[in-house]
Amino acid sequence: MIDPKILRERPEEVLTIYRERLFDEAAVTTAQEVLKVDTERRRLLNAADELKAKRNAASQGIGREKDEAKRAAAIKEMEGVKAEIAALDEKLATVEVEFERLMLQLPNLPAENVPTGKSDAQNIVTREHGEKRRFDFQPKPHWEIGEGLGIIDFERGVKISGTRFYVLKGAGARLQRALIAWMIDVHVEQGYTEIYPPYMVKQACLFGTGNLPKFGDNLYRDAEEDFYFIPTAEVPVTNLYRDEILDAESLPVKHVAFSACFRREKMAAGRDTRGMKRGHQFDKVEMVKFVHPSESAAALQQLLADAEAILKGLELPYRVVKMCTGDLSFAACEKYDLEVFAPGCDEWLEVSSCSNFGDFQARRAQIRFKSSKDKKDKPRHVHTLNGSGLALPRTVIAVLENYQQPDGTVRVPSVLRPYMGGAEVIRKDGSPR
């Protein structure tokens, strides 16, 4: 949620940003409605508060009044006031619900340094790292490598769960598990505290991170109870401190969490159906930070570097892409993607997305901080950031495709060998078919 005060005090500025930076006319319209509703809201609020002040004063008087006749008269008068208050409160409640509903739909405002652009075409490749490997044979896509080695079973995945599901087996499953364990270890080393979060959360959590109300059609949920399956560990981990006031001295708080992620991918129907690039369920290691507002810009750069350390450790060629305003996600004010090159499918795969949300999520989730030392310090919203470090299936794809050999085997990246029982090469494991 953006700060309602900014919208109220500098409406033209906000509208211009929505129109000329985000190219989001729906947001412009919504913001204009918010302004109207807000004016009405404050009018009703002031009127109701005034009457309540009158009632409270009178009620105290009634409590002290000994004269029965005067007492009865005062009560009689207050009955009228009571009805007026009830009427105003009812209107106010309606207006407040509307205000909230609209505010939750407004996207975050981009940071100043975010380039203006309408689509991903205006994104900027900030830097590239590592050379694309030169092959003296035709590199295969991961689905061929995986099936050849008997470590990915697409057919059975579809049989038991349907399209967009696959099964990892033997060294394939182990490779993924090795990556998870190693990545978490790296991030812990970087100062992140490991979290094992619930994979199912209450609806309020999704409003907190900004997935709801706008993106509900990408979420799985329990039909009977208030449970949503998390689309990313960002949701439970960010909500860890929902409705809390953190000690300013404890910032920055840095967490790393591994979790399965569940996404309906309805919007992307038909896209990336081949291989394991886009599934309904995938694993991801996620970093989440809660920082002082003055430090979030630097914290984003560090977060990016922390994610990049994984790709560097794996010795995979990657590039850093800075999102332009039009490609920024709903809740982010600044965002970078990390794309790894997969020579088999011959494309850059997005394996990480590192975002600074400013106070947007903190405002929705009411995550604040205050100094425990300085008594005059008022609670303020923290800034939240998160970034994948990294998304698993695509990292597995990149490893398989970049480390493949002409005979169909795959070398194990050296950092993973200790996590793979010392194995240096993945060979055909003798699958039952």
Partner RNA sequence: GGAGAGAUGACCGAGUGGUCGAAGGUGCACGAUUGGAAAUCGUGUGUGUCGAAAGGCACCGCGGGUUCGAAUCCCGCUCUCUCCGCCA
Rounded distance between C-alpha atoms, residue 24 and residue 212, angstroms: 18
| Conformational region of residue 196, where left means phi above 0, alpha means psi within -120 to 50, and beta covers everything else | beta
Residue placing its CB nearer to RNA in the complex, 217 or 224: 224
Return all residues near 4 (Cβ < 8 A) that are at least 6 apart.
34, 38, 103
Interacting stretch for RNA, rule CB under 7 A, among 14-22, 51-59, 143-151, 413-421?
A: 51-59
Interacting stretch for RNA, rule CB under 7 A, among 56-64, 184-192, 322-330, 334-342?
A: 56-64
Write down the least CB distance from residue 74 to RNA, Å: 7
35 binds RNA (CB under 7 A): no
Mapping DSSP to helix (H, G, I), strand (E, B) and coil, where does residue 403 land?
coil
Interacting stretch for RNA, rule CB under 7 A, among 74-82, 122-130, 348-356, 403-411?
A: 74-82
Residue placing its CB nearer to RNA in the complex, 175 or 205: 205
Fill in the amino acid letter for 387.
G
370 binds RNA (CB under 7 A): yes
221 binds RNA (CB under 7 A): no
Residue placing its CB nearer to RNA in the complex, 124 or 260: 260
Q: Which long-range contacts (CB under 8 A, 24 or more apart) does 411-416 make?
A: 412/175, 413/313, 413/314, 413/315, 415/182, 415/313, 415/314, 416/175, 416/178, 416/179, 416/182, 416/314
Q: Tell me, what DSSP letter sits at residue 259?
A: E
Residue bearing tokens 């560990």 = 233
Residue placing its CB nearer to RNA in the complex, 4 or 293: 4
Rounded distance between C-alpha atoms, residue 124 and residue 261, angstroms: 28
Write down the least CB distance from residue 68 to RNA, Å: 11
Residue placing its CB nearer to RNA in the complex, 155 or 249: 249
Write down the least CB distance from residue 202 to RNA, Å: 9
15, 75, 195, 204: which one contacts RNA (CB under 7 A)? 75
Ordered DSSP codes for 368-384: EEE-SS-TTPPPEE-EE
58, 111, 158, 195: which one contacts RNA (CB under 7 A)? 58
Residue placing its CB nearer to RNA in the complex, 50 or 155: 50
CA nearest neighbour of 184 among 430, 389, 406: 389
429 binds RNA (CB under 7 A): no
79 binds RNA (CB under 7 A): yes
13, 25, 49, 194: which one contacts RNA (CB under 7 A)? 49
Residue placing its CB nearer to RNA in the complex, 7 or 291: 7
Residue 124 phi/psi, 5-degree rounding, is -120, 125
Q: Give CA separation, 208 vs 75, 285, 425, in Å.
A: 44, 20, 44
Across 12-37, b (16+ Cβ under 10 Å) vs e yields eebbebbeebbebeebbebbeebbeb
Reading the block at residue 296, the tokens are 């979030």
126 binds RNA (CB under 7 A): no
Give the total of residues touching RNA (CB under 7 A).
32
Interacting stretch for RNA, rule CB under 7 A, among 14-22, 38-46, 205-213, 421-429?
A: 38-46
Q: Which long-range contacts (CB under 8 A, 24 or more apart) does 8-13 make?
A: 8/35, 8/38, 11/35
204 binds RNA (CB under 7 A): no
Q: Please, which of residues 91-110 interact with RNA by CB under 7 A?
A: 93
Residue placing its CB nearer to RNA in the complex, 50 or 194: 50
CA 120 to chain centroid, in Å, comes to 19
Residues that bind RNA (CB under 7 A): 4, 42, 45-46, 48-50, 52-53, 55-60, 62-64, 75, 78-79, 81-82, 93, 245, 368, 370, 372-373, 375, 378-379
